[in-house]
Structure 1
C-alpha cells in the first residue's frame, strides 16, 4: 500500500526538567528562561514551572533531526546556566516533585481544577515523535499498526529510575505516573479518522480530557499538525537516544502504511508488555505481545527492527539504527546510566550536575 509522494517528515518534541544545582530540587525558573528565549520559537513552557519543552522544525532526515535537537538543548542549557539552574533530560525530577508548581496559564489552571488528584504528580517529561502523513484516515491505520510495538519503544527510551533521590525500582517511573490519566492508553484499532474522532469526542464529553490536546493516547493523531504523534517514550537522556527513537518510529509508520496486513495484539498483552518495559527497561524479560510469553527485551527490539528493515533501507536509516542500538546495548538505557551516576555521586547536587552533563552528551564519570 505505497503512498506516492509521501515524505514521512519528522518532528521531535522534548520535555526537560530544571534543577537547582545546589541540592537537585526542582527549580521553578521556566517562565524566566522563556523571557530570554523569545528568539527560539521551538521553546515553550509546560504544565509545571520546572519544565521546559523544545520542538524541532519539520525535518526530512536524521541528518536534520540530530543537529536541531543538539542546538535546542544547547540553547536552553546555556540560558538555564545563566539563570543559575540546570537543564536535565529525565522522565521525572529525580529529587522529587513540588506541589503547587503549576504554570499560571489559564489552560493549565483549568487542568489542575479538573484533575486535582493527578496534578501534583504530573510534572513528567516525555519525547514525542511526529511523522507526517497525507491523510488522517491513513493515520488511523498507522495507529492500529503501532500498537504491538509500543513496549519496545518504551524499553529503549526508559529514563526515569530515580525518585526522591533514590532508585524507584522502575526503569521508567514516568510511565505509571502518566498512566493514571484517564486517556493514557494504547490507541484503538479505529476504522478511520471518523471513528478516531468519535473516541476523542466521547473522552471530552465524559470529562476524561480537558480538550483534544489533553487526550493522552500513547500514540495519536496530532490535534495541531498533519502527523501521527507517538508519545510513549520518556525524554531521552542523550541526543543519540532521541535520534534512534525517531528513526524507529518513522520506520514503524512507513511499515504500517505500506504493509498489506498488519500484526495485531490484544490490549491485555500490550498492557503487560508496557508494564514489563517500564519496570525493567532492557535489563529484564519483556512480554511478546503475539504469544503472551516472557521474552528477552533485546530480542523483542531486534524483532521490531526486522519488521521495519525495508523501511529503514528506504529512508537510509539502517546504519544509524544499527549503531544506535549497538551503543544502547553496550552502555544501557538512560535509566541504567542514571543509576550508575547515582551510585557514583556523593550528593543530590552532584548527581544533578552529572545528569546535566549527560544531557548535553558530555562524557561523565
Structure 2
C-alpha cells in the first residue's frame, strides 16, 4: 500500500507574557502573520489561533511543518508581548469570559449554543488521513472507535482550568463533551446509516450545521479524509507527529481489513474515554475487549503492536519505537504541567508550556 496522506491541525492559546492570562489579540496576530508561509486560521474565541499543515506523506514532513507553523505563530506572539502555549484548556483563572472572534458564523454558534460557546476555550489536535471513498471511510471510523481512549490517553495535556487542578489529565475532553454533537461516534453499518445519525443531530438542532458534527472521529465534509478529533493539543511537535503516524497506521489497517469492526456499546466506549481522561498514560485504562482495568501502558503497547506492520511499511516504526518510551519517561503533558506548577507556580507553568510549544529536539 502507498502511504496514505496525513495532515494535522493544531489549536493554541495566546496569553499575556507578563501575567499568563488570556489575550484577545488572536485576530490581530493572524492579520500580522498573513504574509507568512502556512495555513493559519482564527478560532471561535479571540484567545485562540489554529495552524494546519499541508498534505503530507512522511513523518518528517509532518514534523517539519508543525515546527515551522508553531515557530511562526510564536514569533508573531512575541512581537506583541504575548506567548503561544499548547495546552488543552486555559490554566489560569480569568477575570472575564472569553471574547468571541468577530465572524458571522461564530456569532450564530454563540446564539445557538449559549454558554457552551463562551465557556473556557478548548484546544485540540485534529488529524486528517486520506481514504479512498466515503463508504470505506465509515468502516474506518468503526475500526478507530476502540482505539479512541488510547489515543486520548497519549495526548492528555489539560489538567488545569480556571486556576484549579481539575483532578483530570484531560479536562478538555470532559469540557468538550458537553456539546451535544461531541463524543464518540455511533457504529454505522453503511454510509447511509452514518448520514442518518448526522441528520438526527441536524434535525434536533443539536448541531447547527454539518461543521458542528464534533464526534471524536468523523468524515470530513471538506476533504476526502477521516478526521480524528479526540486528542488534546500536544505539548511538542514531535508528540503531535507521533499521534499523526499512529492515526495513519490505524486507518491503513482499517482500510485493508476484511473483518468487521467490533460493535462496542456507546456506554462502554464513553466509560473508557472517561477513564483515559482521568488517568492518562500513567494510570489505568479500561480494556474494551475484556471489560477490565489494566495499566494504560499495556494498551499503548497493544496499539503499537497492532499497527507495527503499517508503521514499518510507511517508514514510521523507528520513530514510534523511540518516541513512545521518551513520552513514558517524561510523563504525559498533564504530568509535566503539574510538575512545572509544583516547582514554579503559575509563572513556572506558563514558562514551561511556552518552552515546550517551540521545542525542536
User: So what's the TM-score if we normalise by structure 2?
Assistant: 0.96
Partner of 2:21: 25
Cα-to-partner distance string for 1:115-172 (whole Å, 9 max, x where unaligned): 1131222510000000011201110000000010000000000000112233221100
> 1:283: how far off?
2.1
> 1:266: how far off?
2.1
The 5-angstrom pairing of residues 259-298 of structure 1 reads 259-264=257-262, 265-298=264-297
Instruction: Work out whether 1:81 is the aligned partner of 2:72.
Output: no
Query: Conserved in 2, the CA contact under 8 Å of 1:236 and 1:242?
Result: yes
Partner of 1:344: 343
Partner of 2:105: 107
3-state SS, counterpart of residue 345 of structure 1:
helix
Query: Conserved in 1, the CA contact under 8 Å of 2:12 and 2:48?
Result: yes
The 5-angstrom pairing of residues 1-365 of structure 1 reads 7-39=3-35, 40-96=37-93, 98-121=96-119, 123-264=121-262, 265-346=264-345, 348-361=346-359
Report the CA distance shift for 1:222/1:289 in structure 2 as closer, same or farther (over 3 A).
same
3-state SS, counterpart of residue 54 of structure 2:
coil
> 1:263: how far off?
4.4
Query: Conserved in 2, the CA contact under 8 Å of 1:284 and 1:296?
Result: yes
Query: Conserved in 1, the CA contact under 8 Å of 2:38 and 2:69?
Result: no
Cα-to-partner distance string for 1:218-244 (whole Å, 9 max, x where unaligned): 000012111000000000001111011
> 1:258: how far off?
1.0
1:283 and 1:51 mapped to 2: Cα distance? Answer: 29
Give the number of aligned pairs: 358
Cα-to-partner distance string for 1:64-84 (whole Å, 9 max, x where unaligned): 000000000000000000011
Cα-to-partner distance string for 1:193-231 (whole Å, 9 max, x where unaligned): 222222212211110111111110100001211100000
> 1:190: how far off?
1.4
4+ runs of 1 displaced by more than 3 Å?
A: none
1:142 and 1:280 mapped to 2: Cα distance? Answer: 27
2:122 and 2:169 mapped to 1: Cα distance? Answer: 14
Q: Which moved more, 1:259-268 or 1:105-114?
A: 259-268
2:360 and 2:160 mapped to 1: Cα distance? Answer: 20
2:98 and 2:69 mapped to 1: Cα distance? Answer: 28
1:204 and 1:76 mapped to 2: Cα distance? Answer: 35
1:223 and 1:13 mapped to 2: Cα distance? Answer: 15
1:286 and 1:236 mapped to 2: Cα distance? Answer: 20
Query: Conserved in 1, the CA contact under 8 Å of 2:92 and 2:163?
Result: yes
3-state SS, counterpart of residue 353 of structure 2:
helix
> 1:353: how far off?
2.4
3-state SS, counterpart of residue 283 of structure 1:
coil
Cα-to-partner distance string for 1:54-107 (whole Å, 9 max, x where unaligned): 000000110100000000000000000001110000000111454251111011
3-state SS, counterpart of residue 179 of structure 2:
coil
2:115 and 2:360 mapped to 1: Cα distance? Answer: 38
3-state SS, counterpart of residue 182 of structure 2:
coil
3-state SS, counterpart of residue 132 of structure 2:
coil
2:22 and 2:190 mapped to 1: Cα distance? Answer: 42
**Structure 1 runs not aligned, ≥5 long:** none
User: So what's the TM-score if we normalise by structure 1?
Assistant: 0.95
Query: Conserved in 1, the CA contact under 8 Å of 2:89 and 2:120?
Result: no
**Structure 2 runs not aligned, ≥5 long:** none
2:293 and 2:98 mapped to 1: Cα distance? Answer: 41
1:42 and 1:196 mapped to 2: Cα distance? Answer: 30
